[in-house]
Amino acid sequence: MRRVRYRYVAVKIDDGELDQRDAVMAVSRNLIRLFGEYGASVAELTYIGSELNNRILIFRCTHVALEMVRASIASLREINRRRCSTRIVYVSGTLKALRRRISQSRDELAVQR
Amino acid sequence: MRRFIDLNLNLAVERGCEEEIEEMIGWAAELGYSCIGVPIPIDLDPDVTQKIRRICDRYNLDFIKRLNLAPRSVTDLLDALRSLRRRYEVIAVSCLSKNVARQAAKDRRIDLINFPSTDPRKRFFDSAEAALASKALTSLEIEMSPLILLWGFSRIQLISHLRRETLIAKKYDVPIVISSGAGDKYVMRSPRDYASLAYLFDLDYSSAIKAISENPSKIIVRNRRKLSPDYVAPGVYIVKRGRDC
């Protein structure tokens, strides 16, 4: 059986004090809303953790569903009935590389607007 | 390095809220755009335009003066073009009727055509329209903010229209331009995020990146050249001035 390849996606949510759990739920819900339960099962979206005091959320998805996950994150407009702006800051093949890139641009990413 | 361009950033120019304008321009710069197009109403005070230009300079953004036209008839469209073409760098036409859509597609003075309605009977981008647009170098503009703001059935309809229109545009080599159409910072997304959203209507990632960088850039270069004092006629430019030529 061929090994499943994954992608790690770092998402910055630009809005004050959001609950991390709400944000994760909103991303998963949006994926299901856009691509349905079948799409979500292909994506295997998993929350890995957060960086920079919950300002960056890290998700894992299968590499075949990366575009689906990117589209669903980009179309997210509110979390827990609060308007927010999301953006994907990095995508990487390994968690180690992703964390390294986040820490390299820590100052840039930590700016809270 | 690739230059990302958002040709339709709806700043609150009429309200003149400087803080809001500056916030959106700053946000555009942070998202990675190097050039923004702002729709400027015909009767807007020139000082406001200058103010926006100054804010853009502060954030190292290239400012494009854009005009949005939504004519009711072909005569209205032609009148507006005659008087306004040389005052704006980019002209976009919202096609509300079939006659206007056909005229807009074949007129070389128009840069972008868009179809704002989600009503299938009011989206006129078919093969005939695409063939005309392809000859006149008019681009199809796709606004991304409705994709984020719409909900449920209307979003489903919109995605299905966009998918069909993208397919036709590709078939007839009509350039596609992706713009935000954002009216506030919460709808603004980074260029790569917009390219990802284009996946929803089957526009591949590289074409989507082109639609937000190269295609709008070509329009700007072409129009700035036309608006320069050295332009004489299509294909004729003054290359040197003076007594010895």
What pLDDT, on a 0 to 100 scale, did the predictor assign at position B245? 61
Per the CB < 8 Å rule, is A34 touching B200? yes
Per the CB < 8 Å rule, is B186 touching A113? no
Here the ipTM equals 0.87
What pLDDT, on a 0 to 100 scale, did the predictor assign at position A68? 93
The torsion angles phi and psi of B135, rounded to 5 degrees, stand at -70, -35
Question: Using a CB-CB distance cutoff of 8 angstroms, which residues of chain A are in contact with residue B192?
Answer: 88
CA distance B33 to chain A (A): 14
Nearest CB among B186, B193, B194 relative to A84 is that of B186
In this prediction, residue A20 has a pLDDT band, given cuts at 50, 70 and 90, of confident
Instruction: Look at residue A80 and tell me whether its pLDDT is greater than 90.
Output: no
How far is B206 from B121, CA to CA, in rounded Å? 31
| Residue-wise DSSP of A23-51 | HHHHHHHHHHHHHHHHHHHHHT-EEEEEE
Q: The CATH number of A6-111 is which of 3.20.20.60, 3.10.100.10, 3.30.460.10, 3.30.70.3250? A: 3.30.70.3250
Nearest CB among B149, B187, B197 relative to A71 is that of B197
CB pairs under 8 A between A and B: 46
Instruction: Look at residue A113 and tell me whether its pLDDT is greater than 70.
Output: no
Instruction: Look at residue A59 and tell me whether its pLDDT is greater than 90.
Output: yes
CB A27 within 8 A of CB A13: no
Per the CB < 8 Å rule, is A88 touching B199? no
Instruction: Look at residue A73 and tell me whether its pLDDT is greater than 60.
Output: yes
Domain ranges in chain A are: 6-111
Name the residue of chain A whose CA is nearest to B186's CA: A85
What pLDDT, on a 0 to 100 scale, did the predictor assign at position A17? 66
Q: How far are the Cα atoms of B90, B177, B221 from residue B218, in angstroms, in the given order?
A: 11, 11, 5
Q: What is the full per-residue pLDDT of chain B (245 aa) written as tens digits?
A: 789 999 999 988 777 678 888 999 999 999 999 999 999 998 888 888 899 999 999 999 999 999 999 999 999 999 999 999 989 999 999 999 999 999 999 999 999 999 987 777 788 899 999 999 999 999 999 999 999 998 888 899 999 999 999 999 999 999 999 999 998 888 999 999 999 999 999 999 999 999 999 999 999 999 999 888 888 888 888 888 887 76
Name the residue of chain B whose CA is nearest to A113's CA: B27
Instruction: Look at residue A53 and tell me whether its pLDDT is greater than 60.
Output: yes
Structure-token pair, residue B167: 């397919």
CA distance B138 to chain A (A): 28
How far is B92 from B106, CA to CA, in rounded Å? 13
CA distance A60 to chain B (A): 17
CA distance B163 to chain A (A): 15
pTM for this predicted structure: 0.90
Interface of A to B at Cβ within 8 Å reads 34, 67-68, 70-71, 73-75, 77, 83-88, 113
Burial A52-84 (b: 16+ CB within 10 A, else e): eeebbbbbbbbeebbbbbbbbbbbbbebeeeeb
